């Protein structure tokens, strides 16, 4: 992953944010429903805050532990390989079982942030970002002194992990709420029946590809 520039890695964070935002599973249909129920366009945008908070927490919960562990340099390859294998296995599971977890249906509409956290975690959204975050940390650690204090390294890793989560979440919400607004204002409910995209298979496949690349790059770049 260190063979990729930081700019390319941040671009990947943004692209994954767009991908997650446009995926119906991440909640933009709920923004449409909220607007229709309230009969005003501002209600569509009102969902951005709870959906964003939940998605951000789902990203941070996954990214922070991996990034902090990766600063133990002697274990960095093992951590990256382990993360890649975990992503592949989760992707295979998503391909074999594309149903939404039943417990999500029991979360009330007033608990939208909680729903967003659970659904992003259940779909392994944060796992997709782990290889990118580890790559950014590796790129940054290469510029630091070999004798830099561990506390400083961990602090830098924490900032990187939270930065990835923030950039990804902002992009995801912009894409998702933007699409929800387009459906509410211009495309109409017909889009939900005719233009609905089932991305569960694509989601599972992308997890497998991401995990495989993470494992390969861990051995190529060490």
**pLDDT, tens only, 58-103:** 999 888 887 776 655 556 667 777 777 877 887 787 677 656 555 5
- How high does pLDDT run on average in the chain? 75
Q: Residue 1: its pLDDT value, please?
A: 45
d(CA 214, CA 85): 8
Reported as a pLDDT band with limits 50, 70 and 90, residue 2 is: very low
pLDDT tens digits, one per residue of 178-189: 988 988 888 776
pTM of the model: 0.73
Question: pLDDT > 90: what percent of the chain?
Answer: 10
Token digits of residue 212: 């495989």
């Amino acid at each position: 992953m260190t063979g990729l520039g930081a700019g390319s890695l941040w671009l990947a964070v943004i692209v994954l944010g767009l991908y997650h935002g446009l995926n119906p599973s991440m909640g933009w249909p709920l923004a449409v429903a909220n607007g229709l129920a309230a009969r005003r366009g501002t209600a569509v945008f009102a969902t951005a805050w709870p959906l964003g908070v939940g998605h951000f927490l789902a990203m941070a919960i996954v990214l922070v532990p991996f990034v902090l562990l990766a600063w133990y340099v002697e274990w960095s390859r093992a951590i990256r390989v382990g993360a890649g294998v975990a992503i592949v296995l989760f992707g295979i599971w998503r391909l074999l079982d594309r149903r939404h977890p039943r417990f999500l249906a029991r979360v009330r509409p007033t608990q939208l942030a909680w729903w967003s956290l659970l659904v992003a975690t259940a779909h392994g959204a944060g796992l997709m970002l782990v290889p990118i975050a580890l790559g950014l940390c590796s790129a940054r650690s290469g510029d630091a002194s070999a004798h830099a204090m561990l506390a400083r390294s961990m602090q830098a890793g924490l900032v990187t992990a939270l930065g990835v989560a923030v950039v990804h979440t902002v992009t995801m919400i912009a894409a998702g709420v933007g699409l929800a607004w387009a459906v509410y204002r211009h495309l109409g409910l017909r889009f939900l029946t005719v233009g609905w995209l089932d991305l569960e298979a694509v989601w599972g496949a992308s997890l497998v590809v991401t995990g495989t690349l993470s494992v390969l790059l861990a051995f190529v770049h060490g």
